[in-house]
Structure formats: structure tokens, C-alpha cells
Structure 1
Amino acid sequence: MAPPALSAAPPAPAAMDTERYPGAASNPVKRVAEEPVSTFSIDVDTAAYANTRRFLNDGAVPPRDAIRVEELVNYFDYGYPRPTSAQTPFRATVAIAPSPWSSQRQILHIGLQGYAAPRSEAPPLNLVFLVDTSGSMMGPDRLPLAQKALNVLIDQLRPQDRVAMVAYAGSAGAVLAPTDGRSKLKMRCALGALQAGGSTAGGRGLELAYGLAKQNFDKKAVNRVILITDGDFNVGIADPSRLKDFVADQRKSGVYLSVYGFGRGNYNDTMMQALAQNGNGVAAYVDTLNEARKLLRDDFESSLFPIADDVKIQVEFNPRQVSEYRLIGYETRLLNREDFNNDQVDAGEVGAGASVTALYEITPVGARPSSDPLRYGDKTSPTSKVPVGELAFLKVRYKLPGGSTSKLIERAIGSADRYATLAAAPESTRFAVAVAAYGQKLRGDPWLKAGFDWPAITALAQDARGQDPEGLRAEFVQLTKAARDVKAR
């Protein structure tokens, strides 16, 4: 049955000039005796990092809901050991070290590194650029910056790659028929001719872009729509939940959707997240041309070439070793325990060479817990079959691109993964902890003790900078100082 059309609804009223973010309360502390299993969908998006940076560089405090801690942490490359086979596309790295903001607790650091095939082995691309040319895209940080960003992507194309282009304002139309990677000048001319003006018929644009992608569908290629917008849809279907359903239906055809956000003042992050999460693609925010270069040049393979779909993580904690845990971030990606084994439940996509980082704050047995013990005893009892010293058990479930049946990777987490001090832990752990602290403090989360201040976060990040060829970690150190200043005001 054909999916419902999106263009039949009456026009919606013009959107107010306000930014919108999906709200989510910080993850609570969970008692292992009551809820020993934590399950979530991976998230390799980085939109929150660049958007938060934009606020700080403007001298403003970011809205709390704009700060998704996992997207801040996953902005960086941690140099995890790489897998050697595309058939087992992930390799796990684990470290446990004392928490810098709570003397009674520890940080469990989980890193998953994705497989990266040589570029020469990458499949061809069948891309459709879907460009918002409505009036809300006027201004140098919107359509003009988007045109420069897409030119960076065009630079990376090979002869076997193809690009079509759709623009939408009050109506939508194709402005470039499918064109191979040898005709870069033709692509640039079509892109350069775009001008902003009119209302935003985003739903109709999505319909047309998916139609073009499916007309030129190649089962051996990466088939993807790349949406460029501020998310301010105000003509036709503009409800994120209805657009989400449409995009989720379209991904079944094998055409995925990635979303790149631009602009400020009316930026609709809620829309961006809904579309990208249900379209099996990334959500990114472009605040500068340098960010466009990072996303579409430096991270070209991880942005466009998938190595795994529906990637889920599940951690089971051993109540003999751990009394409490708290997942740091991933509030909008939580899954039910039973969703982990259900291959019909959608989860995140991972691109070639991308990594995923997750952090838990855990309370060891014997330390002072956050909540009182149960009066009538625990609901679960530890099994005697668990090896001595095993803290937890990690499971990763994924599908190969286009597959319908998931595969499983498992790993015990034990005493060999412990470090006596945070200073002795790997550089990747120390830097990830610094970024997580920065995000939680910006959000005003209640878990960081009062004495763990901004200078402490800056010092932790500075000490873990390591090799920093692109200067991204040095920039982060400066952002911790900027955050201190704007919060102080």
C-alpha cells in the first residue's frame, strides 16, 4: 500500500520565531536490584555540540533541552582500536575509573569503534539534495552557508556517484536531474542559482525527493536524501509526528534520510531529530564553514556510508558488584528491555569508521547509595554462576545494511577493565568524562557535586587533549571557559 501523501493537508499558520527542542528529563539513578538491565539505541549525531557551541560563541546560555550530552561526547574521535572485518563491524573498548565529581562513584566508559573499509571499496552514492529555499533561510548563516556546505560535499564525489537536487519554498520542484560525479560544475551551477523566499512546503519537498531517489534506486548503491533546512516547515504537513511516520515508512524502501540544520532564532531541532531518527540517518547542525568541512569532508564516509543498522546496546549490571547506575545522556534514545531482541524495533544507524561512546556513573556495592534499600528485600538475587569480579555484561545488537535479522556481540566487563585513579585511565576515558561533565553542568543536572567547578572541567579536558591535529579538543577547552563565563553572567 502506498504511503499517505503529505501535501493534501491545508496550509498551517506561520511558525513563531522561536527555537524548538525535544524535552527530556535527565536519566535517574537506577537500583540494580530492581532494574539491572539498561537498554538504548546508539546515537552518532553531533547536532547538539555545534548548536551549543553557537550559543556560547554568541555569549548566550544554550537552552537546557538543546544540550544532549551523548551528542557532545560523540562529537570527538577517541582513537578506539578498530575492527578488522565488515562482517563483525564493531569492536568494544571498556574502562572503569573513579568519578571526578563524586568520591563514592565510578564511571563506566564504553566505546564502540565501527569498521572502515577503504574508500575505493565504498559503494556508489545515489543522493538527492533537498534544499529549503523558503524565506526563513535568508541570511548568511542559512542558505548561503548551506550552498558552501554542499559544495564541500560535491568536492568528494566520484564519477560513479549521482546527485539530483530538489528545492522547496511555497512549492517544490526538481532543479537538477540525476547527474554523475564527473559533472561537478553542473551541480554547482544548479546550487548557486537557488535563492531564498516564500513559505516552507517541507512535506511536499520530502515527497518529491524520495520519489526521485526511488526512481533512480540502485540496490548496490547508498540511496539517501540529504535535507538542508532550519526545520521551520509551515505549509502542508508541519507536525513532526506525522512527518516522522512518513519518513519511517519511506526507509523501508531502502532510501535513508540525513538532516543538516542551519540558522538561529527559529531553528526547529524537534523536527530535525524526528526526521533523522526515523529516516535512518544522521542529524547535524552547521554553524560555520569549518563545521561543514568536518561533516562533509573529514567525516564523509561515516556520514554517508552505513556499516550497520538498528544498533542497540544493552548492559546488565551484577548486583554483587554494583548497587546503582545512571546512564549519562541518551534520554531520547532509551528502549525497553524487550526491544533489544525485537528486530522490528528501530534503532540507530552507524556509518563507516564512526564510533559510539556511552558513559555510566555507577555506585559500587559498599559505597553509600543514592536511595534507601528496600525494606522487604531485593526483587532479584545474584546468581552464583557469575565469575568473581564481573561488574556487568555488555551486549551489542546490529543488522548489516539492508538486513532483516540482527547479529550479536557480547563482552563481560570485569576487574581487568578497572583503573585505580582517573589519572591512570586512558586518555579517551578522561576526555570523554570531561565532555560529559561539561554537558551536565551546562544543563544544570544535579549529579555533579558543588565543588566540581568549571576550572576543574577545563583542567580535566586540558590534561586529556593528547594528539589534536584538527584542534577540536583545543577548541573544546576554550568552550569550557566560555561556558563558565556565560553561566557566571
Structure 2
Amino acid sequence: MSDEFDKLRAGLKSASPAPEPAAKAEALRRAMENFDRHQETATRTRPMSDRPGRAGFLTGVREMISKMTSRPALAATASIAAIGVAITLWPQIQREIASPKPHPDTFDRTIVEVSPPAPAEETATLRGTAQKANAPAGADMAEADAALSDAMPAAEPVFEAAPQSLARSREVGVISGNFAAAPPVSLAAPAEDTRLAPSRPDTEAYASATPNPVKIAAEDPVSTFSVDTDTASYSVIRSSLTNGQLPPKEAVRIEEMVNYFPYGYAAPEPGEAPFRASVSLFQTPWNADTQLLRIGLQGVLPATDDRPPLNLVFLIDTSGSMDDPKKLPLLKQSFRLMLGQLRPADRVAIVTYAGSAGLVLEPTAASDQTTILAALDRLDAGGATAGQDGLQQAYAVAESMGGDGHVRRILLATDGDFNVGLSDPEALKDFIAKKRESGTYLSVLGFGRGNLDDATMQALAQNGNGTAAYIDTLSEAQKVLVDQLSGALFPIADDVKIQIEFNPAAVAEYRLIGYETRALAREDFNNDRVDAGEIGAGHQVTALYEVTPVGSPARLSDPLRYGSAPDGGPAAELGFLKLRYKAPGGSTSQLVETPIPATPSEADTDARFAAAIAGMGQLLSGPKYLGTWGWDEAIALANGAKGDDPFGYRAEAVQLMRLGQSLAR
């Protein structure tokens, strides 16, 4: 608006003849006298006999026109017109410049049209303007501008709009406010922020590490890691993509994505170890000059009647952060599904924590579902998150439940927001590490987004000899707590470690895809005091290595000139696989060994689908080693390897890839 006012003033100046100072002053003086005389006579009724006749009236009109059309009068009239226009426009100009604009997403507060000043105020303003403009001869236009600025009325206050006027404001863009009901807001200070209150800040934290690098087999031939059967990362990624956002890169853990899906691995034979290892070697989809080595472990699945009784403690976060439909309400629905899978010999207790911990349900037979469900229904969210108190009480309750041969497990359900007591993942790690010696397992179920503390959840599960899953839908609760209940709750092997020694005669380079947070030192493999992951009944573990054969043009590093390791020629073995595990509750590990053939084979459906998911994870976290291979290739590979997909998990993954492709553009 200020630009338009400048144009108006410039136009008036150019259209009017330059005023003569003496004539200007005289014209203004006469105008004010006539104005004052008009004001005085307007206050009383004029007698009809004093009115001039028609001839006198015409004569007066001619005389007035003659005076008004003289050069001095025209100049004065133009000046007064400019002043009048400026006075009329100034309130709107002032409002446009000084008044805050309403936020486009809300109509809580807005600008209201205010009437111009009262006639008396206008009179005083006009009189002051005329006196300043009647300056001595030689006064320039800058002085007139200063006089005009001094005479401008102050900007009107801003009023709160009445709620009933908001609907109409959306249609016409002008608000008629309820002035009596709303106090004015001074423009001397910045106006109150009119936007809606912001939602809870995003404080999500994820357990992540630098992606595994390519290693040279001749220099570092041994790779060691702890098995991982967690699936939380895949569910978090699904939650992000279905909500129209790419997941945070640190939330992508490729091994958890690959292990989310079931594969057709051979089960162990009676009398063998509680799991069976399978290996296969096939061409890498994104690099024709490298190969993928797949290691698959299949745990034994005992009959339901043969499994030991379960002492289960639900440790439920009821803090204020759980007050969300995707958190505590979904948690209650999920546990309802699970109760139907428990046997009469199983027992359930419920401990909650918020401002303080409390035992909500004494150990109760799983067959008494009415009592258990009533205790769940009474739970409400509120207070801070006293996680330490809750964990301490849950362990105490689990240990008190006793029972020889019973499996004791704490199932912690939380959004991970520990803000009272132990909140540091390292402190929690030490606390849980001491408690796992009692033989009580700890698994974690994550709920909700926004303040999901995945780092804390991973620290708890990995050090509590348990698993971590993330539940974002009731369908996911069905998968984790019904379809895979035995694997989630009943361990068949503890502290399972994998170590591969690659043959430098066959392998130039290799990299482990994923498992960054499960890496172990080479010497940790034989140390039974070093904790590792567990395998549950019927559970599977899948690990993928990308290997570069000796002589392949895909080699990223130059061979050493003076290296002593062999660097050429065929080799019968690609490497040697070793596994260590303990029986549940045991202290001494057992060793399983098997050679890895160097001859690649045709990739089966499961292998191709696992490779597609590994490619998806790399596309989401950083496609450093994928070359030109992208979303189209990943989608085609997964779509052609869905195979037998009774629950639609693989079809869902293809749809998530399509969403990822669209969001990544």
C-alpha cells in the first residue's frame, strides 16, 4: 500500500501546476475561514427569508467558479485534495503495514475493519494540516510531507473477532468482530502469536551405527556378529511410508527388515542342535560382478503341549506420553489378542509405571481372562515416566512367581520415553545386564511415534536376552503376539554368535549388509561371558554378505604389491562358518561348524526376495554400493519373488517400495 500512496502523490504533483507560495497561503486562509463559517452556520437553522434568489444564486456561482479556476486556486485545491486523500487512506495503509497477518492455517484471531476517525477528529487533523502547509514562501515539498506525516491519525487497534463471524470470513475475507466482547491489542508491541499451539516436538531417537564398510579378505578375513531376530525397524519404516514420509535414515536397520519375513529354511533333525544353518551363494542383483552369500538359521518349533509353562509380567508404560490412540489403547487391544493364545498353566501379572510404579494385577492364571481384562481396562495414561522403578518392580514380581522349569519373561510395552530414573541407554544396559543373570528374559514392544525412543528399546531388549518389535497396527499385533507367539516368548538358544572366516584365495572383498549394532570383536566369539542374541522357538535368522570374488572387476581396492596372502586361482571353499550358542539358562556354549562352498547357484524365490528387501533398505539409508540399480529394479525383483505369501507380507512390501519411490522423487 505504501507504494500505491507514493504513486498517488507523484501523480497529483505532476498533474497540478506549481503553486505560487503567496497564492497558496491566501487560498488556504480563505478556505479555512469559509470552513469555520460553514461550521458555525451549520449548528442553527437558517431563516427562509435570508436565502438568496435565483439570480443572486447564479451570480454567486459564477463568481465562485471564476475564483476556483484561477491558477493559484487550482494549486491550493490540488494540495487540499491530496491531503484529504492521504488522510482518508492513511488508516488502511497503517493497518496493512503494522498489523500482523493471521496464520493461514487458523482463524483464531484476525484483523477487523475499524471505522475512520470521528468528524471532530478529522476537523482537528485538517486544521493542523492546513496550518502546517501555510508555511512561509520558499517552503519546499519535503516540509509539506513532514507536516502531512505529523498530521496523520494513529493506527487503529486490532480487535478479537467474534467466533460466530468466522464462517462468513472464510467466504468474503472480511471479519466483522464483536468489539464489545474483545479488548484491543496494542500495536506498540508485537501482536500475540495467532497460530495453533504446536504439537509435541519430535524427540525420536534410533539405535544406529555407521554402515559396515567393504573389508579386504587378505587383511581382515574374519567377521563376527550376534544374531538378531528383532523386526522393529521394518515396522517403523512402514509407519513412516504409509504416513507419507521417508523414514529417518538412522531408523533403517537392514537386518531387521530382512528378518521381518518368513522363509522356507529346513528345520533341524531330531537330536541335532536346536537350529539348523543353511548357506547359499548367488549373483548380486545390483552388481553382476559380485555375489550374495545368504546364511539362514531355522529354529526348532516344539509342539504347544511340550513347551514349558510361562510366567509373564506385563510391564506397561502409563505415562502421559502414552495418551494417544496408537499407544495405550492399541496396547490394550494387542494384549487382548495375546491372552487367547496362552495356556491355563501360564500366569500373568501386570505392573505399570508413570509417576511411580505399581502392581496392578497379582500373578493370575491365564485362564482367568475376566480378571486380567478388567485390570487392563482400568489403565489410564498420565504422569512422568519412572522407568527405573517399573523395571525393578517387574523383575521382583517375575522372580517371585517361581516355578521350576517355568519361563519367566517381562514384556515391556512403551513408547520408550524414559524421563525419570535411568534414562541413559548405557545406564539401562548395565542395569539389565545384571538382572538377566536371574534367568528372566526381557522383551520390548514399542508403540506410537513422535517420541519413540528406539535406542532405549534396543538397549533393553539386546541386554535383556529378549527381542524388540514395534506395533503400529492391530495387524502387526496379530503377527507378533499371535502368529509368532512361541518365537517371541519361548527361547530355544541363548547367546547365539556367528563367525565367518573368508578364504582370501576365493574372496577379494566382502561386506556384511546390516547388523551394525550387533557387531562383535573377533575374540568375543569364544568368550562365553560376552552376551549375544537369542533364538526363539520356530524363529529364523537371515544374514547377507556381498562378496567380491578374486579377479572380479568389481574389486574396489588394489591388491597389495608385497602381500603374502594368495590372490588368484580357484578355491573349493568360499569360507568357513562357525556358530556358538548356549542352552536356555546355560553358561557354557556349544560350537557348530560348516564349510561354505565357493560355487554359486541359482537364487531361489526366498533368496531373491531377501535380496530385494536388502536393496530397499540400502535405497532408504544410502545406496552407496548399488550403482544405477534403483527403485524400479527393487520393485520388479520383489514382485517376482512373492512366492507363497499367505498373509500378504510380501505384497505389502512391494506397495511400500512403490511409496518409497514416489516419496524419494
| TM-score, normalisation: structure 2 | 0.69
Q: Distance in 1 between matches of 2:201 and 2:317?
A: 18
| Distance in 2 separating the partners of 1:436 and 1:85 | 33
Q: Does 1:448 align with 2:629?
A: no
Larger proportion of strand: 1
Tell me the residue number matched to 2:529: 344
For the residue of structure 1 that corresponds to 2:288, the secondary structure is coil
Query: Which of 649, 655, 664 is the matching residue for 1:472?
Result: 649
Aligned counterparts, 1:206-225, within 5 A: 206-225=391-410
Shift of 1:396: 1.1
Q: Tell me: CA distance 1:308–1:414, structure 2 relative to 1, closer, same or farther (3 Å).
A: same
* Cα contact 2:283–2:603 (8 A) shared by 1: no
Q: Which moved more, 1:64-73 or 1:149-158?
A: 149-158
SS in 2 for 1:250: helix
**Secondary structure of 1:70's partner?**
helix
The one-letter code sitting in structure 1 at the alignment partner of 2:241 is: L
**Offset of residue 466 of structure 1:** 0.5
AA at the equivalent of 2:394: A
- The structure 2 residue matched to 1:374, chosen from 555, 560, 579, is 560
Distance between the aligned counterparts of 2:653 and 2:431, measured in 1? 37
Q: Distance in 1 between matches of 2:230 and 2:381?
A: 27
CA distance in 1, matches of 2:398, 2:489: 15
Match of 2:576 in 1: 393
Tell me which moved more, 267-276 or 95-104. Answer: 95-104
How far, CA to CA, are the matches of 1:267 and 1:42 in structure 2? 24
Query: Which runs of structure 2 are paired with 1:9-408 in the superposition (5 Å)?
Result: 17-85=202-270, 88-368=273-553, 369-378=555-564, 380=565, 388-408=571-591
Equivalent residue number for residue 183 of structure 2: none
Q: CA deviation at 1:329?
A: 0.2
Q: 2:613 aligns with which of 435, 451, 454?
A: 435
- The 8 Å contact of residues 550 and 567 in structure 2, kept in 1 or not, is answered as no
**Partner Cα distance (1:258, 1:318) in 2:** 37
1:182 offset after TM fit, Å? Answer: 1.3
Percent of matched pairs sharing the same residue: 56
SS of equivalent to 2:545: strand
Q: Once the two structures are superposed, what CA deviation does each residue of 1:209-268 show, in whole Å capped at 9, x if it has no partner? A: 000001112330110110000010111221111111111110000011000001111100
Residue 438 of structure 1 aligns with an amino acid whose one-letter code is: M
DSSP 3-state at the match of 2:448: coil
Q: What's the offset of the Cα at 1:84?
A: 2.4
Tell me the residue number matched to 2:603. 425
CA contact (8 A) 2:505 2:571 kept: no
Query: What is the DSSP-based 3-state SS (H/G/I as helix, E as strand, rest coil) of the residue aligned with 1:478?
Result: helix
Shift of 1:181: 1.4
Letter in 2 for 1:400: A
Which structure has more RCO (C-alpha within 8 Å, separation ≥ 6)? 1
Structure 2 runs not aligned, ≥5 long: 1-199
Q: What TM-score, normalized by structure 1, do the two folds share?
A: 0.93
Aligned to 1:481: 658
Per-residue deviation at 1:52? 0.5
Residues 86, 115 of structure 1: 8 Å contact kept: no
Is the Cα contact below 8 Å between 2:506 and 2:571 reproduced in 1? no
> Once the two structures are superposed, what CA deviation does each residue of 1:189-221 show, in whole Å capped at 9, x if it has no partner?
101110001111011000000000011123301
Quote the Cα distance in structure 1 between the aligned partners of 2:243 and 2:201: 21
Pairwise CA distance, 1:376: 2.8
The higher radius of gyration belongs to 2
The answer to whether the Cα contact below 8 Å between 2:506 and 2:568 also exists between their aligned partners in 1 is no
Counterpart residue type for residue 581 of structure 2: Y
Q: Match for residue 10 of structure 1?
A: none
Name the CA distance, whole Å, in 2 between partners of 1:332 and 1:219: 34
Contact 2:223 2:499 in 1 (8 A): yes
Aligned-pair CA distance for 1:79? 1.0
Do structure 1's residue 461 and structure 2's residue 638 form an aligned pair? yes
Work out the CA distance in 2 between the residues paired with 1:176 and 1:136.
22
Q: Secondary structure at the match of 2:235?
A: helix
3-state SS of paired residue (1:104): strand
Distance in 2 separating the partners of 1:388 and 1:331: 29
- Contact 1:318/1:382 (8 A) holds in 2: no
The answer to which structure has the higher helix fraction is: 2
Cα distance in 2 for partners of 1:374, 1:291 equals 50
